[in-house]
């Protein structure tokens, strides 16, 4: 006789939620220009999971996508422009002769700041109601102030890339799992900040 097992169905609910969120994100990323709004929506959903233990996906995902569409779309364009200029400068570095030894440290620092800020940018937008300029400033501050969290987030991304490379089938859930893991890290930082403000 079939016996209802609450823990089993809870685990099944969580696994299904990660799969649904991952597929929704992949589908919304297909137009390319919607990658940033889709990613913000994914982080907003993972925030809801962590704060409220509510593992609903479809309705909140589209709600967050719509709410953050304008801001995250503009931020996405800005991020693409900065990243594009960075990689263009790297490609042209060999053509500037000995001057490259001066530019290389500058570009390295620029790339490091972009990478650091990228760890916090989506969790910051998901957690705080701020414009894109303040989101960038806060993300940069958080990434430097809480360097261990930033480095752990980078390690997570590297681990995700390795898992995806070795087992491509993990693309069905690896992105939502990564977003959850990184937001969980950043959420601990946000909690510390709120505790300091309230004290």
Give the pLDDT of residue 146: 96
Q: What is the pLDDT of residues 113-162, one digit of tens each?
A: 889 999 999 999 999 888 888 999 999 999 999 999 999 999 999 999 99
Rounded alpha-carbon distances, angstroms, from residue 105 to 40, 87, 101, 102, 118: 31, 14, 7, 6, 20
* Domain boundaries, given as residue ranges, for the chain: 6-198
Q: Residue 2 — pLDDT band, cuts 50, 70, 90?
A: very low
Give the pLDDT of residue 193: 84
- CA-nearest of 126, 127, 132, 133 to 193 is 127
**In contact, 117 and 140? CB cutoff 8 Å:** yes
């Amino acid at each position: 006789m079939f016996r209802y097992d609450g823990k089993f169905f809870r685990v099944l609910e969580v696994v299904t939620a990660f799969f649904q969120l991952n597929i929704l994100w992949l589908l919304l990323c297909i137009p390319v220009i919607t990658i940033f709004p889709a990613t913000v929506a994914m982080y907003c959903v993972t925030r809801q999971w962590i704060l409220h233990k509510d593992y609903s996906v479809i309705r909140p995902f589209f709600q967050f996508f719509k709410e953050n569409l304008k801001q995250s779309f503009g931020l996405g364009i800005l991020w693409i422009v900065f990243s594009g200029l960075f990689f263009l400068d790297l490609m042209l570095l060999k053509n500037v002769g000995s001057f490259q030894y001066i530019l290389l440290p500058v570009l390295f620092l620029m790339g490091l700041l972009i990478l650091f800020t990228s760890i916090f940018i989506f969790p910051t937008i998901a957690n705080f109601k701020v414009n894109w300029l303040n989101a960038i400033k806060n993300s940069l501050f958080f990434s430097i102030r809480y360097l261990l969290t930033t480095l752990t987030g980078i390690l997570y991304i590297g681990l995700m890339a390795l898992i995806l490379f070795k087992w491509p089938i993990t693309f069905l859930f690896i992105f939502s799992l990564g977003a959850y893991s990184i937001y969980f890290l950043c959420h601990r930082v946000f909690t510390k900040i709120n505790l300091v403000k309230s004290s």
